[in-house]
Amino acid sequence: MDGLPGVSCMCLTYGRPAVLEEAIESFRRQDYAGPKELIVLNDFDRQTLLCDVPGVHVVNVSKRFRTVGEKRNACAALATHDLLFVWDDDDIYLPHRLSFSVRMFNPEKGFFKPSKALTLNSGQIGGPNANLYHSGSCFSRSLFDKARGYAHMGSGQDFELETVFERLIGRGKNFNAIKPEEIYYIYRWSGTGSYHLSGFGKDKTGEIAGNAKVAGYVQKQIEGGTLPVGTVSLAPHWKLDYPTMAKEYVAGLPQRTVV
């Protein structure tokens, strides 16, 4: 549709195609009418990922990035458009995410993120809860460039970037007035059968880095026969009807619930 900006969604992945398929399905179901793309950046050298969904560009690299921050920066550099959406591979994004965010986006601020999200634990919807929820955000490339991108670190690079954003655009950068029925981000913690980098804690001098802990976890899955290697043809789908689950859950919230 004329007048709608192009958007680029940035998805990092490493050794967890099952949840990645759900993240890609979240992109496929977006109702946004403007130009859109999903960049999937995979640096797990034992998997070559393939996907034929329109607008999805999978980039397989044979050497692992040193830190998650550097990997996020590389994904941003691969993005075609200048409105950038974080799209973590283990979470769910309801179909109105892009359209709602673009409608609410303030170009002068250059950043949009609701203050709360729904949660998904072992197949059960919860919340709304407040947290950093960086993967529910979008920002202009100009703001991203002013912030000089993500810090070259593992766990915590998302918090560091948002701290710089707040310094650049002022307090109150998050959107606090979102209604429960407008929430589009479902943060998944348990029940994935996978890992959370943040669950390994922040990197500390003299200790094993989070990247190495993730690699060890993935290696155990391979040895246990639960994770394929080689060429993996992704089949995007949702395991559950997340929009209906979210709608029914929100409808059951007390009327006094304030988000």
Percent with pLDDT over 70 in the chain: 90
- Of the candidate ranges 22-36, 49-63, 189-203, 213-227, the one whose mean pLDDT is the lowest: 189-203
The residues spanned by each domain of the chain are 7-113+132-173+191-236
Average of per-residue pLDDT values in the chain: 92
Domain 7-113+132-173+191-236 falls in which CATH fold? Spore Coat Polysaccharide Biosynthesis Protein SpsA; Chain A (3.90.550)
Choose the weakest-confidence range: 159-163, 178-182, 255-259: 255-259
Looking at residue 18, its amino acid is A
- Rounded Cα distance, 111 and 134, in Å: 11
Adjacent-strand bridge partners of 47: 230
Radius of gyration of the chain (CA): 18
Over the range 125-146, which residues count as b (16 or more CB within 10 Å of their CB) and which as e?
A: bebbeeebbebbbbbbbebbee
Residue 94: count of CB within 10 angstroms of its CB: 20
Residue 259 has pLDDT above 50, yes or no: no
pLDDT tens digits, 109-145: 999 999 999 999 989 999 999 999 999 999 999 999 9
pTM over 0.85: yes
In the chain, the DSSP E strands lie at: 7-13, 36-42, 47-50, 56-60, 83-86, 92-93, 111-112, 116-121, 124-130, 138-140, 185-188, 230-233
Q: How confident is the model at residue 215 (pLDDT cuts 50, 70, 90)?
A: confident
Kindly tell me if the per-residue pLDDT of 191 is higher than 90: no
Find, among 229, 209, 222, the residue nearest to 42 by Cα.
229
Q: What is the pLDDT of residues 12-70, one digit of tens each?
A: 999 999 999 999 999 999 999 999 999 999 999 999 999 999 999 999 999 999 999 99
pLDDT of 211: 81
Residues 85-112 have pLDDT tens digits of: 999 999 999 999 999 999 999 999 999 9
Residues with Cβ within 8 Å of 199's Cβ and at least 6 positions away in sequence, in order, are none
pLDDT at 257 over 60: no
36-42 and 83-86 as β-strands: parallel, antiparallel, unpaired?
A: unpaired
Among residues 99, 105, 118, 124, which one has the least CA distance to residue 29? 99
